[in-house]
């Protein structure tokens, strides 16, 4: 044999040996893997037998929540304003085994026992009711084209897709139900919308004692049906009803735009929540806590446990700052004087009259009252919400804030003397105060308030613009923007043109025009440009009364834990005074403003503008008259907005009541109704309620 042949045989043997080793290696790996599997099976069946037995007999746990009654609302005297009218109703608890067909039959049975009332259902709800019958559903599915039952490979589509296609296939003729049938559809839809083990209150007619007794006695025959208690929000008829606000119905549940936030807090979709004003602002307190049940079922669906993991509590009660009796008294005062204006023909174009009373020290709202008036009508309607929603040009009441801005921006100092004189600007009508004569009268800042000098304020504004007045001067736009921003910034320190911080949703913070002229800066200085709400004016009055602290108004005085009775319950917390800011002037400067307010009412000068507020209580204040216009059949009618700020006067800044009144678009100011209303409100409060 040649050497070449021998070498070839050696190579073949080596190759075969290599393949054999690989086979052994693979076999070894298989043995190892198989051993691991055997060991794992042994571990599962022997060591962890109990764990997997539990898995085999796996259970399903459901978390079910139900709401509790909402908290009540009382006035400052403890009178009940808002309560819950509790009544007995039919409830349905959905089990984990009940079918749509069974619910349909249950609804028909229930219809023979109680009255169904509601027929407002959607087309989809009608179709769901139609398909709840198993034979009908099978018939509709059978008629569907193959592509709506099977995919491209001939596999069945999911049940949800087939059902959706069946819904589309139902015609309008097939769901053309009668009124009585629609009532059944509605009840079925309520049942069908319930999640597993949750309970829904069914909408039926009021139940009789006989119906309640029968359903209670026959619960075993009525799967999931029971008698439960429900509540409707009941608000006493008063002018505060609109301020208290509304609560969603059990049908509407959570507002769609806020549902996500509420669900994150643990609410359920059908929970009733506050949708406006006080009910919404204090939702967290008024909404009771949920009862939470943990229901466990075994693999067959049988309930093995039903435990209450968290007991629900009724919502907390609110006590308001408003005494209903005083509120009514304020409304009567408003009506007395405003009716006289209507009778005299002065209120033809007026939208109404508004008054707000605050405690200057705490911000507690003592009254917020309004009368709404339609042009030309002889009657009015109560409009408390107008106090925070409606805006008006206020007139001269802003002048204390204007002087403050002059001080803050170094345009004037202290009780500076400036000449009240006719302001004659090139190309513009003369600006005068109501008392301006042919010459000039030197007056102080205090007297500028006492006499209500327009021209003093105009000259302060000019100084803030960096312009010194002289007769015939051309008004420049230099400094215009800075001066307007400075004025508005100071006004905001008093609450004008900014959020008051009230514990109600504010729909407006006034109207501040962005497009203005240099002339508008001058009229702004004496209250003839921007517009504010009555509540803002009241906060301004309170800020002067308490010595310069802007305090947030609040309608709620305190919160009480609900003890299940008709009373307030146990005090949980008191609403604290919220000081938003302090006016950026010195104590001596604030004292000058307060002295000016005192002189407005109590001065012996014939120029004092607020003497009609003199009465049993010493009052300080500031009057305002804004020139406005109304249009009647194309004719422009000159009108006035009458306003006033007032408070019971005390040199120690411990006034108990501050009031703002505004009556827009009167055709005469000769009766001074703004002053008389403020006077009577303060007299009434101080004589009857101040020490309660």
| Catalytic (active-site) positions | 396
**Contact call for residues 534 and 645 (beta carbons, < 8 A):** no
* Residue bearing tokens 């060591």: 47
Q: What is the dihedral of CA 494, 496, 500, 505, to 10 degrees?
A: 180
Q: What is the dihedral of CA 246, 247, 251, 253, to 10 degrees?
A: 130
**Contact call for residues 301 and 652 (beta carbons, < 8 A):** no
Query: What single-letter DSSP state applies at residue 345?
Result: T
Nearest to 333 by CA among 687, 673, 692: 673
d(CA 487, CA 690): 35
Residue 288 sits at φ, ψ, to 5 deg, of: -70, 170
d(CA 541, CA 659): 7
**Contact call for residues 530 and 488 (beta carbons, < 8 A):** yes
How large is the C-alpha radius of gyration of the chain?
Answer: 39
Q: Which residues of 137-146 are buried (b: 16+ CB within 10 A; e: fewer)?
A: beebbeebee
Query: What single-letter DSSP state applies at residue 486?
Result: H
**Contact call for residues 92 and 219 (beta carbons, < 8 A):** no
Distances in whole angstroms, Cα of residue 476 to Cα of each of 114, 384, 597: 80, 43, 33
**Contact call for residues 144 and 170 (beta carbons, < 8 A):** no
d(CA 155, CA 161): 13
d(CA 530, CA 391): 9
Sign of the torsion formed by the C-alpha atoms of 37, 43, 48 and 53:
positive
In this structure, the strands spanning 80-93 and 73-74 are: antiparallel
User: Which region, left, alpha or beta, applies to residue 535 given φ > 0 means left and ψ of -120 to 50 means alpha?
Assistant: alpha
- Contacts of residue 506, Cβ cutoff 8 Å, sequence gap at least 6: 388, 499, 500
Distances in whole angstroms, Cα of residue 590 to Cα of each of 15, 448, 611, 644: 109, 15, 22, 19
Query: What single-letter DSSP state applies at residue 476?
Result: P
DSSP string, 87-142: EEEEEEE--SS--HHHHHHHHHHHHTTS-B------HHHHHHHHHTSHHHHHHHHH
d(CA 337, CA 129): 61
DSSP string, 12-75: HHHHHHHHHHHHHHHHHHHHHHHHHHHHHHHIIIIITHHHHHHHHT--EEEEEEE--PPPPEE-
d(CA 386, CA 370): 6
């Amino acid at each position: 044999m040649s050497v070449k042949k021998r070498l070839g045989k050696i190579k073949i043997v080596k190759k075969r040996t290599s393949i054999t080793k690989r086979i052994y290696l693979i076999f070894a790996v298989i043995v190892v893997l198989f051993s691991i599997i055997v060991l794992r099976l042994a571990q599962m069946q022997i060591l962890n037998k109990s764990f997997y037995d539990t898995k085999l007999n796996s259970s399903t746990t459901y978390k079910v929540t139900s709401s509790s009654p909402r908290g009540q609302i009382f006035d400052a005297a403890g009178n009940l304003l808002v309560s819950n009218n509790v009544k007995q109703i039919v409830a349905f608890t959905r089990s984990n085994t009940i079918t749509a067909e069974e619910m349909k039959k249950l609804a028909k049975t229930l219809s023979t026992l109680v009255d169904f009332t509601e027929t407002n259902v959607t087309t989809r709800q009608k179709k769901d009711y139609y398909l709840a019958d198993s034979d009908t559903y099978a018939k509709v599915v059978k008629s569907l084209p193959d592509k709506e039952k099977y995919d491209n490979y001939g596999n069945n589509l999911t049940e949800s897709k087939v059902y959706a296609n069946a819904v589309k296939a139902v015609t309008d003729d097939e769901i053309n139900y009668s009124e009585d049938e629609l009532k059944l559809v509605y009840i079925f839809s309520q049942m069908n919308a319930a999640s597993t083990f949750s309970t829904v209150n069914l909408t039926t007619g009021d139940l009789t004692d006989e119906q309640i007794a029968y359903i209670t006695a026959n619960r075993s025959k009525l799967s999931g049906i029971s008698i439960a208690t429900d509540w409707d929000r009941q608000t006493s008829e008063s002018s505060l009803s609109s301020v208290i606000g509304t609560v969603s119905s059990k049908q509407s549940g959570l507002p769609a735009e806020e549902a996500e936030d509420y669900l994150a807090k643990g609410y359920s979709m059908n929970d009733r929540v506050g949708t406006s004003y006080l009910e919404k602002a204090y939702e967290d307190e008024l909404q009771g806590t949920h009862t939470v049940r943990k229901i466990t079922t075994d693999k067959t669906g049988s309930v093995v446990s039903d435990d209450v993991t968290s007991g629900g509590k009724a919502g907390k009660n609110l006590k308001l700052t408003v005494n209903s009796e005083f509120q009514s008294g304020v409304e009567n005062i408003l009506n007395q004087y405003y009716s006289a204006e209507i009778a005299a023909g002065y209120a033809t174009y007026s939208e109404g009259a508004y008054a707000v009373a605050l405690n200057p020290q705490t911000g507690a709202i003592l009254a917020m009252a309004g009368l709404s008036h339609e042009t030309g009508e002889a009657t009015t309607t109560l409009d408390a919400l107008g106090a925070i929603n409606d805006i008006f040009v206020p007139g001269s009441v802003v002048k204390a804030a204007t002087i403050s801005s002059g001080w803050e921006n170094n345009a004037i100092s202290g009780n500076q003397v400036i000449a009240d004189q006719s302001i004659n600007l090139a190309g513009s009508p003369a600006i005068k105060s109501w008392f301006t004569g042919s010459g000039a009268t030197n007056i102080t800042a205090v007297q500028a308030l006492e006499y209500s000098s327009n021209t003093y304020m105009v000259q302060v504004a000019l100084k803030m613009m960096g312009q010194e007045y002289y007769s015939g001067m051309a008004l420049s736009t230099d400094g215009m923007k800075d001066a307007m921003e400075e004025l508005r910034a100071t006004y905001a320190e008093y609450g004008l043109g900014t959020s008051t911080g009230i514990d109600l949703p504010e729909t407006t913070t006034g109207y501040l025009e962005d497009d203005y002229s240099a002339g508008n800066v001058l009229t702004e200085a004496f209250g003839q440009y921007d517009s504010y709400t009555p509540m803002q004016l009241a906060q301004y009055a309170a800020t002067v009364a308490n010595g310069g602290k802007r305090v947030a108004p609040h309608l709620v005085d305190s919160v009480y834990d609900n003890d299940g009775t008709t009373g307030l319950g146990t005090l949980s917390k008191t609403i604290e005074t919220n000081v938003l800011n302090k006016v950026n002037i010195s104590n001596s400067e604030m004292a000058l403003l307060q002295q000016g307010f005192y002189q407005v009412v109590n001065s012996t000068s014939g120029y004092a503008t607020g003497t009609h507020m003199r009465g049993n209580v010493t009052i300080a204040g500031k009057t305002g008259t804004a020139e406005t216009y109304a249009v009647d059949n194309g004719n422009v009618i000159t009108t006035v907005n009458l306003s006033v700020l007032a408070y019971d006067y005390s040199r120690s800044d411990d006034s108990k009541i501050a009031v703002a009144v505004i009556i827009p678009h009167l055709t005469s100011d000769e009766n001074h109704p703004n002053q008389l209303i403020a006077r009577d409100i303060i007299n009434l409060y101080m004589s009857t309620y101040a020490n309660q």
